[in-house]
Every structure is written in structure tokens, then in C-alpha cells.
Chains A and B, each alone.
Chain A
Amino acid sequence: MSESLPPDQGGRDAGNWARPVDRLSAAGVTGAKVDSVSGKRVSGPLQGFGQLWQKTFKVRLDGSELSPVELIAMWKDRFPTFWPGGSRFYAPLAGIAPGEVALLDVQPVPGSPVKLSTGVMVLYADDESFTFMTPEGHTLSAWITFSAYRDGDVTVAQAQALERTSDPFDELAYMFGANRMNNRFWRQTLENLAKSVGVTAPSVDTQIVCIDKQRQWRHAGNVRNSATLRTARHTLTAPIRWVTRRG
């Protein structure tokens, strides 16, 4: 948990940004079994390893009376409820506000009993948008911004990610399916959001652009923090722990 800067100590946006923190703390989160975020640093697109992608997912909320501000307020308040089944978002008690940390349990493969435990920090939040930044160890070094705007008479909800995989193993997984699953995850999230405000057949528009095809080999060492490898190790050694407990 960290704090935002008071508005009188910066620009007009001062209260919207998280303050710099050396190490994250998930002390403001309850309910999660695993906290793999506390003590970690944040890690955005500049610190990641893989190719840099900008992904934009949009859904038109035809028929909804919600304004962008009302939609974002509702989205912040009920964020975990829009996630696809099998994954959990443990929101900070203080809500989605600058500097707050949330914990996540994500299924690396749909239907898998294995859960990847990680988290995000709220980098930025205002009335019409909020942005998460990933910590070290997350599969992605990313920012993802959730926003809403008016297109004519219709409110449009948008999720836009600027992301790289964090290390070479994550990049490999990304190339062999994790990327597609990630895209499906956000499309489904927007569909769930749209259905919650009465859109019966939501259609999510997706735009994916590769900003940088090169990989940042100087960040290959991120693998030492990998939540993916930690989870794999934990899963593979489960039988040993089971035998040890019984013996």
C-alpha cells in the first residue's frame, strides 16, 4: 500500500498518481491465501523482456444510460465481479485508488487447478479511468488502463494494455498460447461488464499493435522473480510435500 500525492503538491493530476514506492505492500488486502507481491518492486513496460504490445479492447454499451464517470465508478467498485471464472481479484480495502495494491489468483490455463498468485498496483486513477501496473514476478511487465468515453450517444468501455512479458520463459509461454488466453481474458471481462449493464449481445472490438519487435535481453534476469516458475516448482513438488506430511 502506498499513497497518492495531495493535489496541492503537484499539478492538476497530482492526486491521481501513485507515489513512488521502493517496495510494494499488500497489507491493505484481505482474503488472499498467497501474497507474492509484498516486498517486490513495480515493473512496467520499460522493465520487461519480451516484445512490446499495445492491446485495445472496446465494447459499446448500447442501451445503457450510464455516463463514462458512472461506469468507471461502478467498474472500480465491482471490478472483481467482471473477471472470467476461475480467476480471483482481491481488491484493496481502500478500493481502487492511486498507490493501492491488489492481489490476484489467475489460472494459467483455463480449467487448471493451478493458480498463479500475483498482483497489481494502482498507478493512476481519476473519474474516467484507472491504470494498473504490474509488480516484479508477474508474467507481464505492463500497464493496463480501464477507461470510458462517449461515442455519440453511447458510452464505450475500454481496456488498453501496454505490455511485455517479464522474462524469457514468460515470452515462450506467450508465443505458445498465453498471449491468446490473455486476449480472451480481457475480451471476456468486457463482455461481462457490458452484460452487467444490460447489453444482451456485447461485441468486443480488439486492436493489437506490436510497438517493439525486439526483446530486451538486458532484462532476461527478471526470471529470478518469476511467479510462473515459482508456481510450477510448487506444483511439481506437491507430491513430495504430500508424502512428507503423511510420513
Chain B
Amino acid sequence: MVEVGKIKREFPKAEKHYDFNKYVAAFSIATLMFILGLTFGIYLMNEKVSAINEMQDSLKLEVMSIELQNILFQDNPCSDSVIPLEEKLEDITSRITFMENSLGKENKQVLEIKKYYSLIEVNHYLLMKNRKEKCGSDYNLVLFFYSNKDNELESEKQGYVLSNLKTKYTSDKIKIYSFDTGLDLDMIRTLIYFYNVTTAPTVIINEEKIEGFQDKEEVEKLIA
């Protein structure tokens, strides 16, 4: 007895009407396609992993290359010949950001790549610092120490401020080198010790240490 609104109805017993074989076939096709999709997905994931490994290998080469360039330029810092392009650094930075977003900030491969990249950054910084002292160039050198664990939001905000200024003033006027204080790298620990960095975010602008989040106006004042 089924009651619909005010009317009660009596319905006959239901007639069996289905094709069992069709259900089996549908189930089989769906399972097959599903497995196909999973397999294809795993294949793509592996491709991505090997792509990241390739990137890692090329970064290793870059580290060694820039170390040698540093040595060469020690004696002739003001030479007009080719300096390691900032564009390349830009490119790697954006790729790392992208990987952090899609794979996560804790991903092992991402962290490894960040380590190599940090070494390249330090080398570039030393090169530029040497150049500035010996050739009288007028660009600002900024070391940015951030954390993805403590005070994450403050570090994030500081990062955005610095990126914005980098776009505004271009690399002719401001060169920014970012270091993740949580990264397990001796070089970074050395820098932290050198500059006596105790908290994140911390910016070192032209060798002057400023702790805590600095908004856009404040940073602009410090880069004349």
C-alpha cells in the first residue's frame, strides 16, 4: 500500500525485468577502463618524477659552474663579460614555487632541489657583492630568510612584498636571495650564524639586518 498525498494505492508485485549479462558486461568494461586510467596515471606520475630528477641533475651542474665562475671573477669582478643570468634564477624560482604548490612544501624532491638552488643563490650573491664593492655598482642586495613552519604567514607576506618590489624596480636595482631557514643545509646554517638570524622573516638589506615583517613602504625606504 502506497500513500501519495491523500490517495492510498495498492500496487501489484513488480515484474522482474533486467538483463544480467548486460550488468556483467558494463561492470567489466568499467573495470577495464578504470584500470587503464589508473595505469596511465601512474605512468604520468613516473614521468613527472624523472623530469624532476633531470632538473635536479642540471642544477647540480649549475652549482659547480657558478662556483667556478665565482673563482674566475674574483680577480676581475668588473669585467663586462657574461655574468650568470638573473633570468635563469627567476625561472628556477618560479618552477620551485610551482612544484611546492602541486607537490607540497614537504615533498622530498622539492626540498632537494631547493638545497641546490640555495647553493646557486649564495654563489651568485657573493659574486654580486664582490662586484658592488669593487666596481661601485648601485644595486641593493637583499638576503631574505623565511620559514614555512614558524610564523608562516608573516614569511609569506614578506615574500609577496619583496616579489612585488622586484617587479617594480627590476634586477638592475634590487637583487633578492631567499633562504628557507627550515632547510637542512649547512650553507644556510652558516649564513644564519654569520648574520645572527634569530627569527623569521628576516631581511638583510645591504648588510643591515631587519627582523620581523616589513611592509612595502618600509622596505622601499631602505632601498634608496
**Do A and B share a complex?**
no
* Residues of B that sit less than 8 Å from A by CB: none
* Residues of A that sit less than 8 Å from B by CB: none
